Structures are given as C-alpha cells and as structure tokens.
Amino acid sequence: MAVLQHTLRTAGYGRICPVCDAVEAAAALVEFRPDLVLFNLDARTTDGFELLTRLSGVLEGDLWAPMVVLTADLSMQKRKLAVSLGALDFLRLPPDPLEVELRVRNLLEQRFLRLQKESDSPVYAPDAAPTEIDLLKRLALVAEYRDDETGLHTLRIGAWSAAISEILGYSRDETEILRLAAPLHDIGKIGIPDRVLLKEGALTPAERNIMQSHTTIGAEILKRSGSPVVQLARQIALCHHERWDGLGYPIGLKGERAPQAARIVAVVDAFDALTQKRPYKPAWSKEAVLNEMRSQSGRQFDPEIVLILVTLVESGGVRDIDNRLRQIA
C-alpha cells in the first residue's frame, strides 16, 4: 500500500519492509524482526484470518511485536475474531494519515517498554531451581514416551545440540539454555494420533499433513512464556523441520532465515532418527547415516552444522557423550 508507506516515511519511519506475497510473509518476520506489523486483513491474495493465525504464531517469544489489522470492516464480530488470533489494534481502510501516525507511535512505545522491561531482567539463570529444570525435562519426555520410553532420545538431542553450540562459540549460559530447550522440539507430537505417529510404513498425504502439524502444535503449547528456555524451545519446535534449501515446513524458511538453534536440532534430530529403529524403519548403520548427512548438506541441512556433527561422530565425541548419558539415565 503506497499511501501507507508514504505516511510512515513522512512521519520519520525509515525501516519499512513491505511484503505482498503471503507465502513470504512469515519468513520476512523472522528475517526482518519488525517492531510493529501492519496487516491488511482484506488483501485478496489469501484467506486473511488464516494468514493472521500463521503470523501470530511466528510473533512469539523474542520475535514478539504488536500487530495492527487494517480492514474496511470494523464490525464487532470481525474485531473479536482478529483479537482472538493475535491482533492488538485496528486501523480502518483507507487509512487516515493522522490516525496511522498516532496508532503507530503508541504501539511502538508499548514495544520499547516491553523490551526495556526484558533487558532489566537476567537473560537466564544458570543456577535455575532444580524443580524448574526437572519439570522441563519431564515435559520433554511427554512427547517421546509413546515411541521412546527410555527417554534417551531427548537426552541425546540436548547433549549433542549443546556440544555443537560450544564449537559454534555459544557462551556457557547460551549452551545451557539450548541443552534444556532442544529436547522440547517434538512436544507437539502429543497432539498427533497414534494411528499416524506409530504407523508402520509410508504415510498418506493426509497423514503426512497431520504429522507435520506437530511443529505448529508445539509452538502453540510453548507460546506466551516468560522463560528464555521455553521461548527458545518454541522457536525450535516451530522451525526444526525447515530446510536449508527452503523446502521445509511449516513456513518454508531458507538458509539462515531459520533460527540457528533450530538448524542445529534439525541436524542432530535427523541423525538420531536414522540411527534408531522405529515402527516404520530399521536402524541405519553409522556409515550409511553419515553418507546421508553429507549428501543432504547444503540441501536439507546447514552445511556448517553437518560438518561439525560428522567431525564429532568420527572423532568419537558423540560416542563419549552417549556413554555418559547411559550412565545417568
């Protein structure tokens, strides 16, 4: 909308990212990280409420930003539905320049007050209460219990992700956050019926859609938490099936648009899944798994992370981690 962009630039706002393609909208939020989102509910490119739901799901945790819905229909029914799906305020179409300027200024003040409040709090307490850590671990077990009663899968994902993050230069606190958050990547599986989750053999297209919904279900479960661990876990749950080539789901984020923590978990989760026996497949040999990971480097997976994992496996680092996990499990 050229008129809206002109109004914002005239008011002094120079950092504007117009997106007209509904498919690219969610990816743009992750990449651009806006302080305010103006959403045209009446655009004809897609179902407005469906897209509003998708975008609201992305704008959680450290990506939160107020969303203003622009529409020619400000009926109470439509406003209630928009609010229930994540809208914070409304502007009538066509937009009035003065109203736009006032609404934008007020909402940006809310955004910056929230950021200031968050910056005044510690990012993470490495000495978090044992009860809180225990609850996070038990929550991670919930999603895996139906097909991994040992709980070792969640432990491996956390430990391997932490090991990779250390090599990437994460701080000690950041590594510990990832160690606790990564095991929650599949929490959304609690919403997948057993007939799909435990099916032997290939899934039908309809069943595949159901299975893929565990990413958005997980993000929904973990949203609106003030815990940095849960906020990171939500990003991972939502994005750990995105692909480096942009052909993943549920958003289709390409390359570094997906959060790095999610890209780490994508690699270690796939590696572990291939090495383990599942109802729908036998376990692969280590050699076969490494060949598959190399072949998908730069396609499904972040090449840098694949290289680190392969190096850890070949050097015995992964084996040492697994041995320690078996002793404490």
Secondary structure letter of residue 299 according to DSSP:
T
Q: Is the pLDDT of residue 199 over 60?
A: yes
The Cα angle at residue 307 between residues 256 and 140, in degrees rounded to 5: 70
Rg (C-alpha) for the chain, rounded Å, is 22
Q: What is the pLDDT of residues 235-292, one digit of tens each?
A: 899 999 999 999 999 888 889 888 899 999 999 999 988 987 766 678 888 889 999 9
State phi, psi for 319 to the nearest 5 degrees: -60, -40
Secondary structure letter of residue 275 according to DSSP:
H
Distance CA 81, CA 93 (A): 18
Q: What is the DSSP string of 126-148?
A: TT--HHHHHHHHHHHHHHHTTT-
Instruction: Pick the range with the lowest mean pLDDT from 39-48, 122-131, 270-279.
Output: 122-131
Strand order in the sheet with 67-71: 37-40, 67-71, 89-92
Distance CA 61, CA 158 (A): 20
Q: Is the pLDDT of residue 158 over 50?
A: yes
Domains of the chain: 2-119 (3.40.50.2300), 130-328 (1.10.3210.10)
What is the model's pTM? 0.63
How much is the pLDDT for 156? 87
